[in-house]
Chain A
Amino acid sequence: NAGVTQTPKFQVLKTGQSMTLQCAQDMNHNSMYWYRQDPGMGLRLIYYSASEGTTDKGEVPNGYNVSRLNKREFSLRLESAAPSQTSVYFCASSEFLAGATYNEQFFGPGTRLTVL
């Protein structure tokens, strides 16, 4: 039982390049999330998927797109990377159902992205 896995662990891009961050969970969770973490800013939600087939914007969606490929996988795409997207990216999942109040999220190990 691997929990939440993310690839790659590290990535360096040049401005304007594109890439996709991969995330998969094996806990049969309904909801999945993408966050970025910057010094002094805490974790900020980029996009989330409340269930397979749905995606919604979070607090900082500009410059990103997502795909909920199936119940297990949720990818994050940077179409044209910018230095402001240098950050640590975390994927998370939870067994959250609409209307519930409790929502423990389980995180992947993160992807450290540098955009030059």
Chain B
Amino acid sequence: RKEVEQDPGPFNVPEGATVAFNCTYSNSASQSFFWYRQDCRKEPKLLMSVYSSGNEDGRFTAQLNRASQYISLLIRDSKLSDSATYLCVVNGAQSGNTGKLIFGQGTTLQVKP
């Protein structure tokens, strides 16, 4: 079983739609959670961290469920520019002294006009 699992998609949605991505992680000791965005043939960039209480940044909302080891990302009012791959990222097992991150394979979003 992969340490971080995501549905690869692609998710094809019309502009203005609301879309949600889910991610599960296997290590219950993980302490840091992130969503990164990766545009085609570009490097990953941090989209937002995920906090236990849930957090929002404009049209983006991230949620964490530690009991179910589940992370979600909700995008409201999708824009064409949201088309990208979204990577779910968790700090790795026993990584307290190393900073290692574990990346999911990513979920691809295509927003259509």
* Interface residues, chain A, with chain B CB atoms under 8 Å away: 31, 33, 35, 40-45, 48, 50, 56, 58, 90, 94, 96, 98-110
A108 touches B43 (CB 8 A): yes
What chain B residues lie within 8 Å of A108 (beta carbons)? 43
How many of chain B's residues touch chain A, expressed as a range? Answer: 20 to 34
A109 touches B87 (CB 8 A): no
Given A42-B87, A109-B42, CB of A50 within 8 Å of CB of B105:
no
A40 touches B100 (CB 8 A): no
What chain B residues lie within 8 Å of A105 (beta carbons)? 46, 99, 101
List 4 A-B pairs, minimum CB-CB distance, nearest first: A96-B99, A107-B43, A42-B105, A43-B103
Min CB distance B38 to A, Å, is 9
4-44 of chain B: CB within 8 A of chain A: 4, 8, 31-32, 34, 42-44
From the candidates B49, B97, B106, name the one contacting A42 in the complex (CB within 8 A): B106
From the candidates A42, A90, A104, name the one contacting B104 in the complex (CB within 8 A): A42
Name the CB-closest residue of A to B85: A42
From the candidates A96, A104, A110, name the one contacting B34 in the complex (CB within 8 A): A104
